[in-house]
Amino acid sequence: MPKCTIDGKEVEFKPGENLVSVAKRAGIEIPVFCYHPGLSVVAQCRMCYVEVEKMPKLQTACSTQAAEGMVVKTQSEAVKKGRAGTMEFLLLNHPLDCPICDKSGECDLQDNSFGHGSEFMRHSEERRTYVDVDMGPVIQKNMNRCIHCTRCIRFGDEVAGIHEMVAIKRGNNIDITTIDGKQLKTEYAGNYSDICPTGSLTLKDFRFKKRAWMLKKTPTVCEGCSKGCNMEVQHEGNVVYRCVPRENLEINKYWMCDEGRFNYQYVQDPSRIVDPMKKAGDSWLVARWEELLSGLRTDAAGASVLFLVGTDLTNEEMKAIQDAARALSPKIQIQSFGTPGVETSGQDGPRDQILKMKSKTANLKGAESLGISPLLGSAKSDVVVVFRGGRAELPRIEAKKAYGVGVFLEKERNFFHAILPGLSFLEKDGTVINHQGVPQGMKRALLPRGRCKSTGEMLMLMLNQRNNEVTA
Amino acid sequence: MLAIRKPGFLNRLYLIEIIRGLWITMKNFLFHKKVTLQFPEQRRDYSNRYRGQHYIKAVNGVENCTACMLCPTVCPAECIHIVAGEREDKEKYPVKFEIDSLRCCFCGMCEEACPKDAIKLSNIYEMSQQTRTVYEKDFLLEQRGNK
Ligand code: SF4
Ligand code: SF4
Ligand code: SF4
Ligand code: SF4
Ligand code: FES
């Protein structure tokens, strides 16, 4: 591999790689605004100046490809002066909004200003201000903070496949806005907030809820569809505040869709059932765990029993259910349910040209790998036990007795005779297999709500109850 | 062996020592300045830098605070609880602002961290209470002991 020298370090590079990513591999951070590894290079913010030997002027590292024998300096006096100058220009019109800006704490402009700018400003003229248009339900716009890096425009063009952000007017009056001031249409709008290096485009859902530095971050996998986008759950005090994508070049690159981003909301829905409950006539009563589990055990040992496994469960849970069913009675049938119309991975496929898949649950492949056949039509049996992670769409159930095990909202409980509350995808560890067959780990971010128990614990308690009776 | 000497007759009366002790008492009582105060009527003058009860500074009736959460971030006692919100005349303001005075150690870091000159510690030091006191936003907004 060819080599170049950056700050005295010899670094190998792939031909065609730019200096920002080569330097990053060597542990040298070059400050950037307009450059994003997932977007095309435009080199218009001029923040990434570096000095290249034998070149008369400073070069922008994002648009300079590494070459054999190139000697690059990222910390020379000329570079520092260039960066400080760029920072000063970018901040000429930037408001001192950090105390109320949702980007604050994770803001590239803050970081780079702190690292490369000056503490003082030399101008006292009035700053440019804009009137902002409504950008729809996802994104809150504040153009006063914009530094015109055009990342958002390029994201729409190159990733979301819709040209909806534009730069209008020239020079000092430049305004980044949507075409004709329309609302954003893309189903990937949340990414605008992630890629904007300033607080110009922020999430409405997250607005003023928390400051970025107060959040705990847990890496996990989105359960929104069989793509399995890598994401990070940001939470504090057992409450999730937002989800952001994590880089995984094989699966979701740097992005995620809005459906997956805001999917966490059902986990903390006030109408989620978090106590074991049973139906008594028309009303629902809170029950004891032992009572429901022994009822379930007695019913499951009966004549015709169907265990329905949601394809939103993890492999571990599915396996535990299979084992428990075998231990209870060999007659129990196990079938999977998830997205109507996408029963097998053969029917699964991309829903659009970006990320979304047709299967709305994360682990269709996992259910298949464990040999669970899909449920076709409605669930007919004497006893039906539905195991569900919270996202699989409930099929029609025709049964004398139906149990719901897992995550259910109040409006979904009417099919059932009893609900045994389980854990959602944010409250458990486990493995899911995405549409490419890549197994990925989900990580627990939250503690269980109320009296919820994991599927494994429920099954264990149920089986042990039986053993106790056998020995007693 | 140690010789034990008996005190003489005069010493055994202890009279001289009693008179000497009384003399010290009288000297302090009659000729020295008092160090105590008649508290509610008389008050001690503290320096302007004294760190007492908090208040939130307001300009024209609008609180200076923008709920930036720097004070709860810096507070070593974690006793400030803020909920931010939005309203017509102010993009971001504290809907709820509470200081748990029992946890507060009056270090004054919140005052130092505040970018808006909003949270201040006043000269007020009479803060004893019989119940746990949480200073609410309305209480903090009254401009007592402004400095
Ligand atoms: S965009 Fe960054 S620098 Fe500008 S106000 Fe927001 S946090 Fe501060
Ligand atoms: S809104 Fe953000 S991403 Fe778009 S040009 Fe301005 S700073 Fe860049
Ligand atoms: S004085 Fe210190 S302990 Fe008290 S609220 Fe302020 S920062 Fe917290
Ligand atoms: S630091 Fe000042 S402006 Fe920020 S939340 Fe505290 S009191 Fe309000
Ligand atoms: S990052 Fe290179 S010019 Fe903007």
B85 interaction partners in chain A (CB closer than 8 Å)? 208
pLDDT interval class at A472 (50, 70, 90): very low
Q: Indicate whether A449 belongs to any domain.
A: yes
Q: In the predicted model, what is the mean pLDDT of residues A338-357? A: 93
pLDDT interval class at A471 (50, 70, 90): very low
Last residue of a domain, one of A198, A214, A230: A214
Same-domain status, A355 and A442: yes
Query: Do residue A213 and residue B92 have CB atoms under 8 angstroms apart?
Result: no
ipTM of the complex: 0.84
Ligand 2 pocket: which residues have CB below 6 Å? A 146-152, 176, 196-198, 200-201
**Residue given tokens 């231990």 in the structure block:** A327
Q: Would you state the pLDDT for residue B142?
A: 87
Q: Please give the structure tokens belonging to residue A140.
A: 């809150």
Same-domain status, A291 and A388: yes
Q: How far is CA A209 from CA A189, B74, B95, B97, B125, in A?
A: 19, 18, 12, 14, 34
Q: In the predicted model, what is the mean pLDDT of residues A370-377? A: 93
Helix (H, G, I), strand (E, B) or coil at A200: coil
State how far the Cα of B45 lies from the Cα of A126, in Å rounded to an integer.
44
Q: What is the pTM of this model?
A: 0.89
**pLDDT exceeds 80 at position B143:** no
Q: What is the DSSP letter of A311?
A: T
Same-domain status, A198 and A299: no
Sorted by sequence, the CB contacts under 8 Å of residue A220 that are 6+ apart come out as A231, A232, A233, A425, A426, A441, A442, A443, A445
Query: pLDDT, tens digit, for every residue of A2-13?
Result: 999 999 999 999
What residues pair up with A3 in beta bridges, in sequence order? Answer: A12
**Residue given tokens 């920072």 in the structure block:** A87
**pLDDT exceeds 60 at position A263:** yes
Picking from A207, A211, A215 by the largest number of B CB atoms within 10 A of its own CB, the best residue to mutate is A211
User: Domain total for chain A?
Assistant: 3
Q: Other CB atoms closer than 10 Å to residue A204's CB: what's the count? A: 17
Same-domain status, A68 and A136: no
Share of chain A above pLDDT 90, in %: 89
Closest partner residue to A208 (CB to CB) among B70, B84, B115 is B84
Query: pLDDT, tens digit, for every residue of B3-30?
Result: 777 777 777 788 888 999 999 999 988 8
Q: In the predicted model, what is the mean pLDDT of residues A270-286? A: 94
Query: Do residue B68 and residue A98 have CB atoms under 8 angstroms apart?
Result: yes
**Does the beta carbon of B104 sit less than 6 angstroms from any atom of ligand 3?**
yes
Q: Would you state the pLDDT for residue B40?
A: 86
B92 interaction partners in chain A (CB closer than 8 Å)? 99-100, 208
Q: What is the CA radius of gyration of chain B?
A: 27
Distance A101 CA to ligand 1 centre (A): 6
Last residue of a domain, one of A62, A90, A118: A90
Closest partner residue to B66 (CB to CB) among A99, A207, A209 is A99
CATH for B54-141, among 3.30.70.260, 1.10.10.10, 3.30.70.3270, 3.60.120.10? 3.30.70.3270
State how far the Cα of A222 lies from the Cα of A229, in Å rounded to an integer.
5
Same-domain status, A352 and A414: yes
Average pLDDT over chain A reads 93
pLDDT interval class at A463 (50, 70, 90): confident
**Does the beta carbon of A424 sit less than 6 angstroms from any atom of ligand 1?**
no
Same-domain status, A26 and A137: no
Q: Would you state the pLDDT for residue A399?
A: 92
Q: Would you state the pLDDT for residue A302?
A: 77
Same-domain status, A67 and A132: no
Same-domain status, A304 and A184: no
Q: In the predicted model, what is the mean pLDDT of residues B39-63? A: 89
Residue span of the structural domain in which A138 resides: 126-214
- φ, ψ for residue A464, nearest 5 deg: -65, -35
Last residue of a domain, one of A180, A198, A214: A214
Q: Indicate whether A142 belongs to any domain.
A: yes
Higher pLDDT, A443 or B125: A443
What are the extents of the domains in chain B?
Answer: 54-141
Instruction: Tell me the three-class secondary structure of chain B, residue by residue.
Output: CCCCCCCCHHHHHCHHHHHHHHHHHHHHHHHCCCCCCCCCCCCCCCCCCCCCCEEECEECCEECCCCCCHHHHHCCCCCEEEEEEEECCEEEEEEEEEEECCCCCCCCHHHHHCCCCCEEECCCCCCCCCCCCEECHHHHHCCCCCC
Q: In the predicted model, what is the mean pLDDT of residues A364-384? A: 93
B70 interaction partners in chain A (CB closer than 8 Å)? 99
